Structure 1
Amino acid sequence: MLDLAALRAIDFHTHAEEPCGCHADDGYDDLQSAMARYFRAPWDHPPTIDQTAAHYREQRIAAVIFPVDAERETGFRRYANEDVAEACARHADILIPFASIDPARGRMGAREARSLVRDFGVRGFKFHPTMQGFYPNDRMAWPLYEAIAEAGVPALFHTGQTGVGAGMPGGNGMRLKYSNPVHLDDVAVDFPTMPIIAAHPSFPWQDEALAVAVHKPNVWIDLSGWRPKYFPPILLQYANTLLKDRMLFGSDWPMIAPEGWLAEFEDLPIRDAVRPKILKDNAARLLGLKEAA
């Protein structure tokens, strides 16, 4: 169980990668190497979930962690959600399991989502429209969203440009158009009780992300995937004011280490009353976490 009082932050955006050397040689290593170069990450192979837990425990930071089910679009082997959830259960003091289901799985995916929440303690779901090759407002996703909304857990969507495939020929076949955050507006209209998180500063659509979040009270923003020193001024303006209760710290581990993100965040002109909201309090409220009695 998480000891909320002992944590200095909750990282709302970390990736569970396949155990090193245990996946088929399907191009996944090349993709990860290209991403590591793009982000200047200091590792040869992505860390396992156990290694991630050890790092976050040392930093006294809880982590929302998830795989990405993009096998249909990319061919990269799916990392089973059940395996991720069971690994997180070994580290329940520091890891918060999210799952990922390709919306093209339709009602089969909805059935899986219900089982993952009910039987495996999954606390939310991750979508990556660019990797999964779909628009978030494609109605094929509605059965899955319905299951997520019924469960009362958040849906987290990648938005904006992505480091996945960046610099590779043709962007490794990935199309940025799917990740314009304005597509989340339709989802927020039809699922007004489902918390929706727009992940990352949404370059080149930052204004669209802010507009949707201001207009739809069930839309949140996580600040992962960018070093804070590169945050645009308009994002900081809204983080300090209208969206101060719906902004979330996220690193994008293992591409960005949380301690480096936090060090740069210290230098930003964030109001003293807002800083703890972004680092921990907003995430705790969204996830229903409470201080131990």
Structure 2
Amino acid sequence: MRLRPPIPAWTRGSVFRTAMHYPRHFFTFKGARSAWLESVDVLFEEMESAGIRYGVLMGRASSGAGNLGGVANKEIVEAVAQYPNRFLGFLGVDLDDIEQGLAEIREFAGEANIKGISIEPGSAREPRWADDPSLEPIYEIAREFDLPVSISLSGLLSALAGHDITWSRPVSIQRAAQRHPDVKFIVSHAAWPYAEEMVVVALACPNIYVSPDLYAATAGMIGADTYVKGANLFLEDRTLFGTAYPVKDIQESLSDFLQMGWRPEIVPKILWGNAAKLLKIDA
């Protein structure tokens, strides 16, 4: 559910290098071979070997928050058009220029394999909460076009943008979700390390999906067991698998994920069924 591919749109700026934060700074994260080589062909080989059909390209439209960088929505549209059997796309909205983001959603929402909208309020240049009034037009256009909204939240993401980690707390998403019951919200990175709050917020709001990606696909990860318990108890239909590539090798991520202790009968939902239904994928 979150993949930054080694294609020029990503590698020529800081987005891909920032996504490599873990493998560049911690020996416990080796990173993917395709990421170090910056080879999309090797990435596809890795996806194939792990049985991964699609990588979801989460848009990032940023006005200089830390070193996060950004990718133009036009380039996301071009990438999913070039690799329609490998990539799905979410359009990013720059929270410093929401009007431009709305215009691009209207322009590109009908393009093939565009499946949602992506915002990162806790790591914007000026951080804000998910229920900030300035974000209301984004949620309204999401309802208009029937597109889910990915809200990326993690303590590391906020820190890399130059903010404290508390901007990754998910309580404000509860308020936004309750205000917009017809909009589906995906919390990418699942508000890590506030896993317990995230699970409770999702329990309270049936339109919130939890996407912990590497934080539930890394052996020994702090907080991972909370996401697993949440899915095993009551979020089996709203938990989504992801790798946060290029952080880790995709096969290793899948292997670690399968060892986390999920109830066996819900694993197919988390790996495929929930996302396929949410993103309206026929297969």
- State whether TM-score is above 0.5: yes
Question: How far does residue 105 in structure 1 lie from its aligned partner after superposition?
Answer: 1.6
Question: How far does residue 66 in structure 1 lie from its aligned partner after superposition?
Answer: 2.4
The aligned counterpart of 2:80 is 88
The aligned counterpart of 2:193 is 204
Question: How far does residue 279 in structure 1 lie from its aligned partner after superposition?
Answer: 0.8
User: Which of 19, 43, 47 in structure 1 is aligned with 2:38?
Assistant: 47
Q: For the Cα contact (< 8 Å) 2:4–2:19, is it kept in 1?
A: no
| Greater relative contact order structure (CA < 8 Å, 6+ sep) | 1
Letter in 2 for 1:47: E
Task: Evaluate the alpha carbon distance shift between residue 47 and residue 181 of structure 1 in structure 2; reply closer, same or farther with a 3 A threshold.
Answer: farther
Q: Normalization by structure 1: what TM-score? A: 0.81
CA RMSD of aligned residues (A): 2.8
The aligned counterpart of 1:223 is 212
Alignment of 1:113-262 (within 5 A): 113-119=105-111, 121-132=113-124, 133-162=127-156, 164=157, 171=160, 173-226=162-215, 227-230=218-221, 231-262=223-254
Task: Evaluate the alpha carbon distance shift between residue 161 and residue 115 of structure 1 in structure 2; reply closer, same or farther with a 3 A threshold.
Answer: same
Task: Evaluate the alpha carbon distance shift between residue 58 and residue 265 of structure 1 in structure 2; reply closer, same or farther with a 3 A threshold.
Answer: closer
User: Which of 49, 52, 56 in structure 1 is aligned with 2:47?
Assistant: 56
For residue 41 of structure 1, give the secondary structure of its aligned residue in structure 2: coil
The C-alpha deviation readout for 1:196-238, integer Å capped at 9, x for no partner, is 0112243332121111111110001012132154244332222
Question: How far does residue 16 in structure 1 lie from its aligned partner after superposition?
Answer: 4.2
The aligned counterpart of 1:5 is none
Task: Evaluate the alpha carbon distance shift between residue 104 and residue 29 of structure 1 in structure 2; reply closer, same or farther with a 3 A threshold.
Answer: closer
Letter in 1 for 2:184: P
Q: For the Cα contact (< 8 Å) 2:63–2:69, is it kept in 1?
A: yes
The C-alpha deviation readout for 1:116-172, integer Å capped at 9, x for no partner, is 21246421122223331332211111112211221111111122322x486xxxx56
Letter in 2 for 1:247: T
Q: Normalization by structure 2: what TM-score? A: 0.84
For residue 113 of structure 1, give the secondary structure of its aligned residue in structure 2: helix
The aligned counterpart of 1:73 is 65
d(CA) in 1 for partners of 2:10, 2:276: 35
Task: Give unpaired runs (5+ residues) of structure 1.
Answer: 1-11
Percent pairwise identity:
22
Question: How far does residue 14 in structure 1 lie from its aligned partner after superposition?
Answer: 1.2
Question: How far does residue 18 in structure 1 lie from its aligned partner after superposition?
Answer: 6.2
Question: How far does residue 13 in structure 1 lie from its aligned partner after superposition?
Answer: 1.4
The aligned counterpart of 1:110 is 102
Question: How far does residue 193 in structure 1 lie from its aligned partner after superposition?
Answer: 1.2
d(CA) in 2 for partners of 1:289, 1:204: 30
Q: For the Cα contact (< 8 Å) 1:49–1:88, is it kept in 2?
A: no
Q: For the Cα contact (< 8 Å) 2:3–2:244, is it kept in 1?
A: yes
For residue 151 of structure 2, give the secondary structure of its aligned residue in structure 1: strand
Task: Evaluate the alpha carbon distance shift between residue 108 and residue 31 of structure 1 in structure 2; reply closer, same or farther with a 3 A threshold.
Answer: closer
d(CA) in 2 for partners of 1:140, 1:210: 26
Task: Give unpaired runs (5+ residues) of structure 2.
Answer: none
For residue 174 of structure 1, give the secondary structure of its aligned residue in structure 2: coil
Number of positions where the alignment pairs a residue of Structure 1 with one of Structure 2: 273
